[in-house]
Amino acid sequence: MKAIVTVIGKDKSGIIAKVSTALAENMVNIEDISQSIVQDYFTMIMLCNIKDSKLSLKELISVLNKVGEEIGVSIHVQHEDIFNAMHKI
């Protein structure tokens, strides 16, 4: 099972480290990642494989929301089925 994780906020050091550490600690594999900084704003999109995680998607969302609050960024997690459904005719 895969999920899309997006991170948005004011740029500061440690964002990638904190988010990727939280994912690794919960056995979530980052399969693809894109990040950029537009002026002072940091954006990151990750395609993650969550099949080995012991957490449910809801629990993972809660963990990442706490990380986002700690570092002052907004983190959203969506199941890949949402994106697949949007592109079906």
- Position 89 scores a pLDDT of 60
Contact 28, 60 (CB under 8 A): yes
Contact 50, 43 (CB under 8 A): no
Domain extent, residue 60, equals 2-86
CA distance 39 to 64: 25
Give the CB-side neighbour count of residue 71, counting CA atoms within 13 A: 25
Read off the CATH number of the domain in which 71 is found.
3.30.70.260
pLDDT tens for each residue of the chain, 89 residues long = 999 999 999 999 999 999 999 999 999 999 999 999 999 999 999 999 999 999 999 999 999 999 999 999 999 999 988 877 777 76
- Position 80 scores a pLDDT of 85
- Position 84 scores a pLDDT of 73
Number of domains in the chain: 1
